[in-house]
Structure 1
Amino acid sequence: MKLATLVRLALAGNRTDTARAVLTALSALLATLAGLAALTVLAIQKPAGDAYVESEQYRNALLREPGLRGGTAFALLMLAVPVLTLAGQCARLGAPARDRRLAALRLAGATPGQVTRLAVLETGLASLLGTLAGLAVYLGGRELLHRPDAQGRLALPTDVLPSTGAIAAVVLGLPLIAALATALMLRTVTTSPLGVSRRAARERGPRLWAGPLIGLGLLCFVAVRPVAYRFSGNASLVNWLVPLLFTVGGLVAMVGVLSGTGWISYTCGRLLRRHARRAPALLAAGRLMADPWAGSRTFAALLAAVIFGAGAAALRAYFVAQDSLAREQNRLAGVAAGSDPFYLATMDLVDAAVGVSVLLAACGLMVALVEGIVARRRAYAALVATGVPRATLSRSVAWQALAPAVPAILLALTVGASLGRGLFPSVGNGELTSEVCEATAALCADPATRAQYTRLVQTGSAERAVAVPLEHLAWLGAGALAAVLVTVGVGLLFLRMSTAVDELRTA
């Protein structure tokens, strides 16, 4: 089959195929913006001088201080995680209709390899269009937002641009990753002229691999401070070893939570089947046990956002404890010094990013839930035709979503908070030395007489445990659970349309 023919077939389809391509392109656009924003922050040139020289052309300290740019770029990249998960959920939209179209191509003479390449090309083209649009939005926004103030300082790093290779890696790498992921998922799929079958039958429930993985991730975070202290004399080693521990620890812990969600789904299904007495819970139990990994796929972005938000809450608690300890030491020393609101203000930006991530994850959750209802509309219509009330089906869908969601969110909150406390278990200050002028304001203000009345005051070192941010974690968990409830409510609207008896005649 020629490339032109493959492209033409990849662009063909009905309105559902068009919606899937548009949503995939939109997800790729958002991921491109997040990646290019992170690269732009990393592209800021450090001024000449020591390691503490700041880039004074920016208003925000996150951009001025060289030591804070790495964390800013990492936070921007974390925003791409729920976006990419949303892209994966959008790629499954209208899967039954696409399976029938691929089966028709097999019936017309296409080989299994050609059908697989067609599905891969369809996802890759949609992602490429999205990344190109994202590049155009990035370049256009860079010109529009380049507005220096009266002092010539910028709100955003619009004066720098990532290298051509880095931009090309994002614009071309994301579609390539999407295409490779599609090819990987199609390894267990067989497309025949009679339909699509998946060689993914699971004879037993998932094993509990979450514990060792979460423990390894926590160990990586606990090791960050000792490693940085042990190799403090070798800056080049610390500069790549510490980010490696952060990345490996975060990814391993996230994989552990997602694998634990599969085990939670299967266990919830077993408990419901054993103890439930009503039809909605029994129907949900059968679905949870038949496909326990559906919870991991559906809640992946939401759980990633919750882990990140819980870690940010633990970091905020560290800054609050640090601020409180500094105030106490200044009071004991007789120094009237206020607190520095920079770090807490920065955490407000991080919380806003977490909120955006939860919103994007809720969109992906809604797409997955609606897609699952539409994919099983013939089964639901058959149940309604045999006399099962629609209210029973609605409650079963709610059971299926909420039963694994509540313990999975609690697990994500616990893991995220544990990672943060593993990195910052306590806050301490060394001996504080300050000058105190014991005279009138006029004498202390005069440099000639100030030295006569000034003495040094020292306070001993202090250490304080960081409190567990229970209130912040409770609000984060409530927000995530509210997102699940809203998406369930939207999904139930589609359930009524998908349970019409006419759906039994769907080919």
Structure 2
Amino acid sequence: MLTALSATLAVLAGLAALTVLAIPTPAGGSDALSDQYTNGLLREPGLRGGTAFALLLLMLPVLGLAGQCARLGAPARDRRLAALRLAGATPGEVTRVAAAETGLAALLGASTGLLIYLAGHQLVHRPDAQGRLPLPTDVYPPTAGIVAVVLGLPALATLATALLLRRVTTTPFGVVRKARTRPPWPWPGLLILLGLAAFAAFRPVGLWYERRHSEPPLWLLPALLVGGALIAMIGVVTGTGWISHRTGRLLHRYARGPAALLAAGRLTADPWAGSRTFAALLAALIFGAGAAGIRADFLAMIELGRRTGNGMAAPDDFYLGAMDLVDLAVAVAMTIAAGGLLVALVEGIVARRQAYAALVATGVPRGVIGRSILWQSLAPAAPAIAVALTVGLLLVRGAFPAPTGGGYSQEICDAGEKLCADEVTRAQYVRTEWVSRVTVPPDVPWDRLAWLGAGALAAVLVTVGVGLLFLRSSTAMEELRTT
């Protein structure tokens, strides 16, 4: 059910992005506005690509949630697969059964998402008195795009399941997973630097083509942004494994309490658990920090317009209102990521129920185990959250330099409008004034970054508190039975 729900959310986000891209450009080129919409992000053709990209980014935490939901059902699935092996199934057949289960659940969710999209298209289609629409309910994506999203997502889920099971050996007596024995290396830092370099190269590459009076390939600049963001995101997520391992080493060296020492042992034994657990949350934080940086850049451009007298093309509240919608998307992504955190935490407690039950049987209080789970969640989460926020802000700073204006002369007419409009009398009142070059560095959005970080830590704390409700049932003595 959780896998199907994740597929439903992902399909809705993908179809929404395709709908935005399907809006036809009116006659007059890219400068013409689609006046049938009330939202400025939909009226201006140049802003639709960014809106669709933001909707597609919402699929990342949803897909992370889907992967964690699949792990939640792992214990029950392992028993069923072991029974199939005992009945004579081959390892390849068992893998195909597990992949088909995930694919069918994703197909059910994708079909449900398509039905919700079609029904919502009709329910939300409510033009106002002027015939304008708040959402693009007057257009549909191409049929090929709909089929690609609805069928491509289950196919991707099936292939991902088969890929993840490559390190799993299903035997008639249970499931054996090949664990990584060597500690993680800090190579993800190179991915982060490569992503930052791709964003930093965005403006120089555009200027290089501009000096040569030529246009860059259509794919080049979007590839720098999309590829750089994905590479940096992968670096932050996979780097959490190295952070978890180093945090476990530090706790093992300096901690004195039993809860912290238990957490240190878990962090060093399975440092990659942090990458799996916090993947969706860190992706949402990078997106949110980047949005905060773009808002600060808009505020700097507004201030530059006040100083030089040349403001932006649209009203100030248009750009800030658009960023409010982006902030809403970040909030939705973090909410989805919090659900994924809860699923991952419960999965970890259920998967290690025999180990926890053995600790309780030897006299370890459940409170100590609960505090160790809190240590295990917060110790790697805090530095990983700080790294994600820093990377998200630096990506924006690399692509968008500080707004600069001025450095030119302008004519100012000191008479009234009538005299200045007359070409004969205008020359008597016109004077030339030099506008100094002004650079307005964007402020660091400490308040929004602090809210994002506090919200992420609060999500971790809440999910740990809810997950600990499953601790008592998972540490019952019956869990020690082997038959």
TM-score normalised by L of structure 1: 0.90
State yes or no: 1:94 paired with 2:91.
no
Specify whether residues 133 and 218 from structure 1 end up closer, same or farther in structure 2 by C-alpha distance, changes over 3 A only: same
- Alignment equivalent of 1:399, drawn from 375, 379, 384: 375
- CA gap of 1:345–1:445, structure 2 versus 1, over 3 A, is farther
Q: How many residues align?
A: 478
Change (3 A) 1:438 1:338: farther
- Please give the per-residue CA displacement for 1:429-476, whole angstroms capped at 9, x wherever unaligned: 245777866457xx6699779975974765233222222212211111
- The answer to whether the Cα contact below 8 Å between 2:199 and 2:398 also exists between their aligned partners in 1 is yes
Q: 2:458 aligns with which of 482, 492, 496?
A: 482
Shift of 1:310: 0.7
Aligned to 1:295: 274
The Cα shift of 1:94 comes to 2.7
In structure 1, the partner of 2:172 is 193
1:14 corresponds in structure 2 to none
1:143 aligns with 2:119: no
**2:203 corresponds to 1:203:** no
Query: TM-score, with normalisation over the residues of structure 2?
Result: 0.94
Contact conserved, 2:420 with 2:429, CA < 8 A, in 1? no
Give 1:356's match in structure 2, choosing from 325, 332, 353. 332
Q: 2:435 aligns with which of 456, 459, 463?
A: 459
Q: Does structure 1 retain, via aligned residues, the 8 Å contact 2:34–2:44?
A: yes
Distance 1:140 1:506 in 2: 50
What is the alpha-carbon distance in structure 1 between the residues aligned to residue 139 and residue 259 of structure 2?
57
Question: 1 CA distance for matches of 2:49 and 2:190?
Answer: 29
**Percent of aligned pairs with the same amino acid:** 64
From 405, 408, 413, the counterpart of 1:429:
405
Q: Distance in 1 between matches of 2:442 and 2:250?
A: 37
Question: Which of 428-437 and 412-421 deviates more?
Answer: 428-437
| Residues 116 and 445 (structure 1), Cα distance of their counterparts in 2 relative to 1, 3 Å cut | farther
Distance 1:451 1:67 in 2: 42
Q: Indicate conservation of the 8 Å contact 2:18/2:52, yes or no.
A: yes
- 1:298-317 to structure 2, matched below 5 A, reads 298-317=277-296
In the aligned structure 1, how far is the partner of 2:331 from the partner of 2:424? 51
Matching residue of 1:110: 89
Displacement of 1:48 after TM fit? Answer: 2.1
2:195 aligns with: 217
**Cα distance, 1:307 vs structure 2:** 0.6
1:228·1:238 contact (CA, 8 Å) conserved in 2?
Answer: no
Q: Distance in 2 between matches of 1:219 and 1:338?
A: 31
Report how far residue 202 of structure 1 moved: 2.2
Amino acid at match of 1:421: R
Contact conserved, 1:384 with 1:499, CA < 8 A, in 2? yes
8 Å CA contact 1:438, 1:454 repeated in 2: yes
Question: Which of 280, 300, 305 is the matching residue for 2:259?
Answer: 280
- Given that 1:47 and 1:54 are in contact with CA atoms closer than 8 Å, whether structure 2 keeps it comes out as yes
The whole-number CA distance in structure 2 between the counterparts of 1:97 and 1:144 is 40
- Specify whether residues 396 and 238 from structure 1 end up closer, same or farther in structure 2 by C-alpha distance, changes over 3 A only: same
Alpha-carbon distance between aligned partners in 2 of 1:445 and 1:356, rounded to the nearest angstrom: 56
Determine if contact 2:82/2:172 at 8 Å carries over to the other structure.
yes
Q: Give 1:230 deviation, angstroms.
A: 2.4
In structure 2, which of residues 14, 23, 44 is the aligned counterpart of residue 65 of structure 1?
44
Distance 1:408 1:263 in 2: 10
Amino acid at match of 1:341: D
Show the counterpart of 1:227: 205
**What are the superposed Cα offsets for residues 15-73 of structure 1, whole Å, 9 maximum, x if unpaired?**
xxxxxxx1111100000000011111111111222331222221111111111111000
Structure 1 stretch displaced more, 50-59 or 112-121: 50-59
Task: Kindly report which structure 2 residues correspond to 1:254-273, keeping only aligned pairs within 5 A, or say none.
Answer: 254-273=233-252
In 2 relative to 1, CA 208–60 (structure 1 residues): closer, same or farther, beyond 3 Å?
same
Equivalent-residue separation in structure 1 for 2:418 and 2:228 (angstroms) = 52
Matches within 5 A, 1:117-132: 117-132=96-111
- Report the RMSD for the aligned CA atoms in angstroms: 2.3
Which blocks of at least 5 consecutive residues in structure 2 are unaligned?
none
CA distance in 2, matches of 1:450, 1:307: 59
Which residue is equivalent to 1:3?
none
